[in-house]
Structure 1
Amino acid sequence: MSDAPATDRATAPATDRATDRAAGQATGQAAALARLRARVRGEVLVPGDDGFDAGCAGFQTAYRHRPAVLVRAAAAEDVVAAVAHAAEGGLPVAVQATGHGLSVPADGGVLIDTAALAAVTVDAAARTARIGAGARFAAVVDAGARYGLAPLNGSAPDVGAVGYLLGGGLGLLARQFGYAADHVRTVHLVTADATERRVTAESDPELFWALRGAGANFGVVTAMEIDLLPVTRIYGGELVFDLGDTPDLLAEYLRWTGALPEELTSSVSLVGYPDLPVLPERLRGRHLGHVRIAYTGDARTGEELVAPLRALGPRLTDTVAEMPYTECGAIYNDPPQPHAYVGDNVFLRELDAEQAAVVTELAAPGASVPCVVDVRHLGGALGRAPEVPNAVGHRDARYLLRVLTPVGLAEPDEIRAAHRALLGAADAVLGRCQNLVYGRYADGEAERPADDFWEPADHRRLAGLKARLDPANLFRLNRNIAPAQSK
């Protein structure tokens, strides 16, 4: 007879079974990882491997992915293998090319790095480009320029083109040509069943509609074909005002936008610099307004259109002039180095002079939290449905109001409270913007209502498609559309 107490004899078999199960799971996971490595031409890394931390890092440094497995894809077949591995293990999938649009950091699961899939091929006769999932817009701009063509890129050339297009894409020439997603022709996609698909308006109209505006929810894109436009030069640049001399700049800018041709797309940014020793002395305590211009018409007409702005007062900087399209990145001069930021944005039907004064004051150097406030003029082609409809909504907005604060100038909770107060100053809210990288998801807050990003009818349609293509919600580390529940 055993001398062990009865309670020990009763619990020992259960403990042994739990240990056996854990050992079996570990063995199964190791075997699955070995199979994945055997199928992938690129790298398969796990925490502790050389290159893992660098591979998880992106442009947004306030948050980062912490996956259980990182797959650095060298070919579309690697993406297929990674999705199959995730589906087999019931693991969520995140995708990263440049890390500009990090929305929900992966904590576990599989991160697929598509940065190496960066090929760009131009078909000059068709005025199209095939772009790999890792291609940056700088490469697309340069490739198109050889044939007198240009893509509908945004302000920062280093942004990954595919992620920008999936979200909608509000670019430098948006009022003339619409959202960049309106000009996507073909999407090469790996869906949750680890199947490669070539999706067009003819092959799968419903999925093609969804991918252009909500595409991160439906699979991993490996390549796209997009339209290029016959644009070789623009009249563009930046006017910088000291708001101490021109306090009504925002109100005057809003008045100016009332009668502009669609060929002119613009924005104004208000930047309040705190009086801190770390800043250059010429910026300390100053409140500056940056007006950015991109006009595809001739320079003489451009001069006439911009003249009312120049008449507002002295400019600290005035770079608005004729330029080749290849230099369009100089209009905004977005910082190319990775950094940490928190931001939010809101569509507006209107923004009047009274609201403009409140917004200007909230973004002043004395504000509790330093903010960059950006107002983008919409309308024109942005307000019209494209020839082939897509999931980009809220097209009746006239302006996009965006706020951004670098992390480090205040605590994240203080930043979020300040942003809410600033956005609350504008009461003509349509909804939240789904197509820019500075969405609320980037600051790690809880999920916002879906119709902040999509109109209710569109969201119901997207949720139904999600239930059909990804019922397990494998692709949920994004601005997520949960699968519709069966009734």
Structure 2
Amino acid sequence: METLRRHVSGSVFEPGEPGFAELATPWNVAVRTSPAAVVAVSTAQDVAEAVLFAAANGLLVAVQATGHGIASDHDGALLIHTRALEECTINPEGWARTGAGVTWKTVLAATAAHGLAGLCGLAPNVSVAGYTSGGGIGPMVRTFGAASDRVRAFDAVTGDGRLRRVTAESEPELFWGLRGGKSSLGIITATEFDLLQLPYIYAGALFFDTGHVDAVTRAWAQWCPTLPAEATTSLALMQLPPMPGVPEPLAGKFTVALRFVFTGSEDDGARWLAPMRSAGVPLIDAVAMMPSSMIGMVHSDPEDPLPATERSALLTDFSTDTVEALLQAAGPGTGSPQLAVEIRQLGGALSQEPDVASALCHRDAAFGMHTVGVAAPPELPAVAEHATGLHTAMNAWQFGGTLPNFSAAQGPEGFTSSYTPQVLDRLTELAGKYDPNALFRLGQVPAR
């Protein structure tokens, strides 16, 4: 490790040293990680030096910025922490360049002055690089597609320790794999991507109380197929605890939240939303015109670390029978321990193949389902077991796969299920080329 310290301008932390535990802990604090060391890099060259050191010393490599996409416990690996790669350049002509440590929250704040917006996720406190490398399925996905489809270029360090400029022209194979392949082929140090000319959106959430859960869920299932591509929506069965930050009408109650983002006019958005506003009496109606930079308010995901268990799947449809199965497994009165069970409508622009192909799969899935349970670590196994039962109850509508950014908690199985056999084979083949020492296989591409 002293050798590594001499070769990087950043800092190296070993177990027991001040700073190690903070950097090694992911966003989900229920996951205990045990890397051999953490390298808090300050430059892209630091990343290259750390990868070369890992190869020379027989260490696997893991990467972390905000810690949301953990795929394993990092046991014995060299953890490369990229939070300090903070470059954020906004070009008023409509594109941006961000370092691997930059979050969407930073990008949204920086683009607002230009009337621009980034195609971020539902939680803007995640990193641009990690989110985009997993495809990037956000709250405007039906209108604008996946964030990875808007990438112009990456700077990335591959398993041979080379820092590469990756574009569709210069490195077509790597460009294909980095867009959707997570960190299976390399560590992204910077991303360049197109922005949206979108200063305002009609967006927010409707919340209904327990007595309206059944009617609202059934109405939402019938309403979704009528929506144009300008609308992206999701529905969540929620049980928020009484704690600071949770609105009083929702605290300690079983509610249903309808999330809605419309990229057209306010009048058109209100017209499309009207059937759901009349499906019940909302406890809270927070749908209105807002700056695009405030899109994180739609889902209002917690930013502080939590002990959680998550599970994800894709669905072929969300029909009357699907609603019945969902409510029987996780509706009011079932004793469901899940904090949230979200159904997200997909389709629209996501289902269209981009001009430049990528590793992102399962674009033709109609809906996604994601469960989140939050509890003290000793109670999490029971919550996870319930989530498994819930997903089993939905087997009849399972699409047969997941999406990379939603499957990290499921480890290698989740990674594998994010791809078709053909794409997984190609990723594995490319990993042999760009990661000859199999440094990045931790929790992802099967060992060769």
TM category, shorter: over 0.9
- Which residue in 2 is equivalent to 1:412? 380
- Which residue in 2 is equivalent to 1:146? 113
For residues 142-195 of structure 1, what are the alpha-carbon distances to aligned partners after superposition, in whole Å with 9 as ceiling and x for unaligned? 122222111100111211111000001111211011011111111111111111
Letter of the structure 2 residue corresponding to residue 66 of structure 1: S
- Which residue in 2 is equivalent to 1:29? none
- TM-score, with normalisation over the residues of structure 2? 0.94
Q: Does 1:95 align with 2:95?
A: no
Displacement after TM superposition at 1:58 (Å): 2.8
- Which residue in 1 is equivalent to 2:445? 481
Q: Does 1:458 align with 2:423?
A: yes
Cα–Cα, structure 1 residues 299 and 179, in superposed 2: closer, same or farther, change >3 Å? same
For residues 364-408 of structure 1, what are the alpha-carbon distances to aligned partners after superposition, in whole Å with 9 as ceiling and x for unaligned? 354444111101010100101011110111111110011111132
- Which residue in 2 is equivalent to 1:70? 38
SS of aligned partner of 2:27: coil
SS of aligned partner of 2:413: coil
Contact 1:464 1:483 in 2 (8 A): no
Q: Does 1:325 align with 2:287?
A: no
Q: Distance in 2 between matches of 1:73 and 1:281?
A: 43
Q: How does 1:251-266 map to 2 (within 5 A)?
A: 251-266=218-233
Name which of 428, 433, 436 aligns with 1:471. 436
Aligned sequence identity (%): 37
Name which of 303, 311, 314 aligns with 1:336. 303
- Which residue in 2 is equivalent to 1:51? 19
Letter of the structure 1 residue corresponding to residue 162 of structure 2: T
Q: Does 1:431 align with 2:400?
A: yes
SS of aligned partner of 1:291: strand
- Which residue in 1 is equivalent to 2:216? 249
Displacement after TM superposition at 1:281 (Å): 8.1
Query: 450-459 vs 39-48, which deviates more?
Result: 450-459
Name which of 348, 359, 364 aligns with 1:396. 364
**Mind listing any 5+ residue stretches in structure 2 that lack a counterpart?**
none
Question: Aligned pairs, how many?
Answer: 444
- Which residue in 1 is equivalent to 2:147? 180
For residues 386-433 of structure 1, what are the alpha-carbon distances to aligned partners after superposition, in whole Å with 9 as ceiling and x for unaligned? 111101111111100111111328733322321122112221222332
Higher Rg = 1
Q: Distance in 1 between matches of 2:380 and 2:305?
A: 18
- Which residue in 2 is equivalent to 1:157? 124
- Which residue in 2 is equivalent to 1:12? none
SS of aligned partner of 1:430: coil
Contact 1:170 1:435 in 2 (8 A): no
Q: Distance in 2 between matches of 1:281 and 1:365?
A: 19
Q: Distance in 1 between matches of 2:32 and 2:67?
A: 9
- Which residue in 1 is equivalent to 2:81? 113
Q: Distance in 2 between matches of 1:34 and 1:380?
A: 52
Cα–Cα, structure 1 residues 337 and 251, in superposed 2: closer, same or farther, change >3 Å? same
Query: 468-477 vs 372-381, which deviates more?
Result: 468-477
For residues 174-221 of structure 1, what are the alpha-carbon distances to aligned partners after superposition, in whole Å with 9 as ceiling and x for unaligned? 101101111111111111111100111001111111110013011111
Displacement after TM superposition at 1:50 (Å): 1.4
**Mind listing any 5+ residue stretches in structure 1 that lack a counterpart?**
1-32
Letter of the structure 2 residue corresponding to residue 322 of structure 1: M
Query: 101-110 vs 193-202, which deviates more?
Result: 101-110
Q: Distance in 1 between matches of 2:251 and 2:327?
A: 17
Q: Distance in 1 between matches of 2:343 and 2:375?
A: 21
Q: State the superposition RMSD in angstroms.
A: 2.0
For residues 8-33 of structure 1, what are the alpha-carbon distances to aligned partners after superposition, in whole Å with 9 as ceiling and x for unaligned? xxxxxxxxxxxxxxxxxxxxxxxxx2
Q: Distance in 1 between matches of 2:397 and 2:416?
A: 16
- Which residue in 2 is equivalent to 1:192? 159
For residues 290-347 of structure 1, what are the alpha-carbon distances to aligned partners after superposition, in whole Å with 9 as ceiling and x for unaligned? 0011111000111100000011110000010111112111111111111111111111
- Which residue in 1 is equivalent to 2:348? 380
